[in-house]
């Protein structure tokens, strides 16, 4: 019998701890804000902190109090001032530091708000190095000051300021590391608030944002290509919808609940997508496939519901089934509510605007014809590859959901599920050896994929590499079946690697742009250099990091320049794809023209592109090892 494992740590009553409120938030921040991050991703925690505070101000406006919210960001300090009712003066400390304490548990005070769990402001307080709150109500002022969630001072006094609440906080660098606010992300957040709350003025660092036409302004201002017909704008009690079609592939639909941007969709977005297809099929009295009715759709949906149930603390996906959750089966489902609204109002709109009817049907028929042609080609290609067992040689799947789509059974694994797209047996072999086989898959490309920008959809469908990649991702029929939350392009840091990366991104940009818009596509950063001496080793991702390492390690230095993933040993590589791996999010702003981007980077070799390369290219000589 094998010896029992030795453990020198005694497990006694002293090891049992109770974490109170703020302490638990600081120790387990992911449970409250989803992720930390350094500000490079719009889903990083520092933006969640801003959103949690602004949400409270938006909720005040929704209840009819305060028509302006002022937001300023200077260095790392964030200031938010609203002109709502203000926090009740005797509850300022409780409302900002005691978990499960707040006014939003009372439907008579906040009917359709985003935050309903009494956590948001407390999480901001707990995760900030400094936090200050001041409430003004009818000539009286109550304030409190905190450091890392701990109360340091409080007081009350008279005031001449207008009613409302002021919050000033600085995210704690001990938790978030070296972070910076990307103001483009903050501006997008503020713009979305203005589109959803007509009549509300938001001021960000002195610039005002106000919308007169709600979601219609959002869609019109973010159109990257001219739509086939003017966007349809439909409004009703607790619902607002915008709809049009364009010539791009995929769907580009923004979704919101109670003013919250549900980036990952949920039941309301699923209902909207279903309702578009159902209504158009019934209007034309033809059994068109849902995907053909939705191909090229550009639009948005916003609904207001009571007691929304979001999946995860960051509220990016709606999980509610009912418009009023507390009534359960006695209340209307979100699916029926959206279906009924669109069936009635879209049908009426089309009958009153018959000029756009043939435009929509022509778009549906064109999609149907292309889809049927492509489907046959893809089926033949997959059957051929299946017989040759090519698929199993190219995809090393993870255990989490082998040959199955993402489900909600294990939310943590859903969020961490990843597929590395790499080139060549050497690189894919290295990643396969050290990956976490529970939630990390590896797909190996053979050589360079075709340039999708220059080829027809039929030619792309015939391509073995891209056909197998589509199958591996599970997006043949619907993006909702995506099998991995993170698609990570991992190529060598040389000319060929950069070219392969661009070809893969071109494929996603042209045919699956929503994968990029929803934040699923990333580029893996791998170190360019290893700097070491007998005492320490440092991996560097840029020339600047290399120079800093050389200055720090000083003597007996050996510098290695990595040109390919296969050159990095598996023992070293394990650190680069673990919990702290560096990923660059591939971003695509809605207003950016996809066709213009692809023409610039992947079209004919123009003078503009040549000049761009000359201005931004670092020569290989700059990256070569320095003998020290």
Q: How far apart are the first and last CA of the chain?
A: 54
- Phi, psi at residue 523, to the nearest 5°? -115, 130
| Cβ–Cβ under 8 Å, residues 251 and 282 | no
Which of 139-143, 541-545, 568-572 has the largest mean confidence? 139-143
Dig out the tokens for 227 from the structure.
Answer: 């739509």
Q: What is the pLDDT of residues 336-375, one digit of tens each?
A: 899 999 999 999 999 999 999 999 999 999 999 888 888 7
Give the span between the Cα atoms of 302 and 32, in whole angstroms.
24
| Phi-psi category of residue 39: left, alpha or beta, with phi > 0 → left and psi -120 to 50 → alpha | left
Give pLDDT, residue 198.
84
**CA gyration radius, the chain:** 27
Per DSSP, 210 falls in state -
The tally of CA atoms less than 13 A away on the side-chain side of residue 77 is 7
Strand boundaries in 537-615, DSSP class E: 537-540, 558-561, 583-585
With a CB cutoff of 8 Å and minimum separation 6, the contacts of 535 are 553
| Cβ–Cβ under 8 Å, residues 315 and 415 | no
pLDDT of residue 18 exceeding 50: no
Helix axes 267-284, 334-352, angle to 10 degrees: 40
SS3 state at 195: helix
Q: What is the pLDDT of residues 154-169, one digit of tens each?
A: 999 999 999 999 999 9
Q: What is the pLDDT of residues 32-78, one digit of tens each?
A: 777 788 888 787 889 989 998 998 998 899 888 999 999 999 989 99
The tally of CA atoms less than 13 A away on the side-chain side of residue 220 is 13
| Cβ–Cβ under 8 Å, residues 581 and 445 | no
Domains in the chain: ranges and CATH = 21-208 (3.30.565.10), 215-367 (3.30.230.10), 389-526+564-592 (3.40.50.670), 530-561+598-628 (no CATH)
Name which of 287-291, 429-433, 494-498, 598-602 the model is least confident about.
598-602
Q: What is the pLDDT of residues 411-465, one digit of tens each?
A: 566 778 899 998 877 778 888 888 888 889 999 888 778 888 777 777 777 787 8
DSSP for 144-209, please give it.
EEEETTEEEEEEEEE--SPSEEEEEEEE-HHHH-S----HHHHHHHHHHHHHHSTT-EEEETTEEE
Q: Where are the alpha helices (DSSP H) in 102-182?
A: 120-126, 173-176
Q: What is the pLDDT of residues 224-235, one digit of tens each?
A: 788 999 999 999
Give pLDDT, residue 495.
72
More confident residue, 380 or 334: 334
Give the span between the Cα atoms of 269 and 264, in whole angstroms.
9
């Amino acid at each position: 019998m094998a010896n029992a494992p030795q453990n020198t740590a005694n497990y006694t009553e002293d090891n049992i701890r109770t974490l109170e409120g703020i302490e638990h938030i600081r120790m387990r921040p992911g449970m409250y804000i989803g992720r930390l991050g350094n500000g490079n991703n719009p889903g990083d925690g520092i933006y969640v902190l801003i959103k949690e505070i602004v949400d409270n101000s938006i909720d005040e406006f929704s209840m009819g109090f305060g028509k302006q919210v002022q937001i300023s960001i200077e260095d790392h300090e964030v200031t938010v001032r609203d002109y709502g009712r203000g926090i009740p003066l005797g509850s300022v400390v409780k409302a900002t530091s005691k978990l499960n304490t707040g006014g939003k548990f009372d439907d008579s005070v906040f009917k359709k708000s985003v935050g309903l769990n009494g956590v948001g402001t407390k999480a901001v307080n707990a995760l900030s190095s400094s936090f200050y709150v001041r409430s003004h109500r009818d000539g009286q002022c109550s304030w409190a000051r905190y450091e890392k969630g701990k109360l340091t001072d409080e007081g009350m006094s008279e005031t001449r300021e207008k009613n409302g609440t002021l919050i000033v906080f600085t995210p704690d660098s001990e938790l978030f590391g070296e972070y910076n606010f990307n103001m483009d992300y903050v501006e997008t957040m503020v713009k979305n608030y203005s589109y959803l709350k007509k009549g509300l003025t938001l001021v960000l660092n002195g610039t005002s944002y106000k919308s007169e036409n709600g979601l219609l302004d959002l869609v019109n201002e973010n159109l990257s290509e001219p739509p086939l017909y003017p966007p349809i704008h439909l409004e009703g009690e607790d619902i607002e919808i915008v709809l049009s079609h364009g010539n791009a592939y995929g769907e580009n639909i923004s979704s919101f609940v109670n003013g919250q941007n549900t980036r990952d969709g949920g039941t309301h977005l699923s209902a909207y997508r279903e309702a578009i297809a159902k209504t158009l099929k019934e209007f034309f009295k033809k059994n068109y496939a849902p995907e053909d009715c939705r191909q090229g759709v550009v639009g948005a949906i916003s609904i207001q519901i009571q007691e929304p149930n979001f999946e995860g603390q960051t509220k990016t996906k709606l999980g509610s089934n009912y418009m009023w959750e507390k009534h359960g089966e006695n209340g209307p489902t979100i699916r029926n509510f959206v279906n009924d609204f669109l069936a009635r109002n879209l049908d009426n709109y089309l009958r009153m605007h018959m000029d756009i009817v043939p435009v929509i049907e022509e778009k549906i028929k064109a999609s149907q014809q292309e889809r049927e042609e492509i489907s046959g080609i893809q089926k033949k290609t997959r059957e051929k590859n299946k017989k040759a067992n090519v698929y199993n040689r190219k995809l090393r799947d993870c255990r989490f959901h082998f040959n199955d789509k993402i489900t909600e059974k294990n939310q943590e694994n859903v969020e961490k599920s990843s597929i590395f797209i790499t080139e060549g047996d050497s690189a894919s072999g290295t990643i396969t050896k050290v990956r976490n086989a529970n939630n990390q898959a590896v797909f190996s490309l053979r050589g360079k994929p075709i340039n999708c920008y220059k080829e027809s959809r039929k030619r792309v469908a015939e391509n073995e590499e891209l056909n197998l990649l589509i199958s591996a991702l599970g997006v043949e029929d619907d993006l909702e079946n995506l099998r991995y939350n993170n698609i990570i392009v991992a190529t060598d840091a040389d000319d060929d690697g950069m070219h392969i990366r661009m070809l893969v991104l071109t494929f996603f940009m042209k045919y699956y742009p929503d994968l990029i818009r929803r934040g699923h596509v990333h580029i893996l950063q791998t170190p360019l250099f290893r700097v070491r001496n007998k005492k320490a080793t440092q991996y560097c991702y840029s020339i600047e990091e290399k120079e800093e390492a050389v200055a720090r390690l000083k003597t007996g230095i050996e510098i290695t320049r990595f040109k390919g993933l296969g050159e990095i040993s598996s023992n070293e590589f394990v650190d680069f794809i673990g919990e702290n791996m560096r990923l660059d999010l591939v971003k695509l702003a809605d207003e950016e023209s996809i066709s213009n981007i692809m023409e610039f980077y992947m079209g004919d070799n123009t003078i503009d592109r040549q000049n761009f390369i000359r201005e931004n290219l670092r020569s290989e000589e700059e990256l070569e090892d320095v003998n020290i």
